[in-house]
Amino acid sequence: DPLNPVELIPLVELAPSPFTDGALVELLKGWLRALGRIPVTLNKHVPGNVANRIAAAVWREAIDLVLNGVMDVDDLDRAVSLGPALSWAAAGPHLTYQLAAGNKGLDGFLQHLLHTFENTWADLATWSRLEPEQRSRLIHAIERTYQDTVEELRPLRDKRLGGILRSLERTRRTMATRYEQEE
């Protein structure tokens, strides 16, 4: 689950039905914010909700790259955590590309680079089932890379995550105010 550890991850996805009173959703958002959580609202139901879907897409590609020998597990984890994950933690995927567009604007950015993305998208993994042999290879590769026990690794991850969250919180208030004004 990408929202793990739940006690540290502030995101809460709200999935109201079309019949849910909007005032109730707003009340719940306020309550969640008061608890230090950051609610987002799904406009319609999708299996797995949003964060899980994005994480599943990224992880499938990460698995595929490891199983095809493109990169080792530890380098792949560094490539994600020190690459797109940092940008996305600060701004999310859409704002990251909007900011990358600069003065050209997103339309100019896409006119210049869309073909590059389309070529990459065409080459991404599309499988929907991890075969038993692939599963075994993946488990072996991850366990070989991270030989420490979960009890040793979890506090290190949580400490790092806590530092990232504290840093983000220092700037989040400004961005959150802007996002809330746009809602």
91 phi and psi, to 5 degrees?
Answer: -145, -10
Q: Containing H/E element for 129?
A: none
What distance in Å separates the CA atoms of residue 91 and residue 85, rounded to the nearest whole number? 10
CA angle 39, 40, 41 (to 5 degrees): 125
Look at the block and give the residue holding tokens 């039905």: 17
The distance between the two most distant Cα atoms of the chain, rounded to a whole number of Å, is 51
What DSSP state is assigned to residue 162?
H
- Name the nearest CA neighbour of 131 among 40, 71, 63, 75: 63
**Residue 143 falls in the annotated catalytic set:** no
Determine which one of 7, 13, 26, 143 is catalytic.
13
What distance in Å separates the CA atoms of residue 108 and residue 102, rounded to the nearest whole number? 9
SS3 category, 4:
coil
Catalytic positions? 13
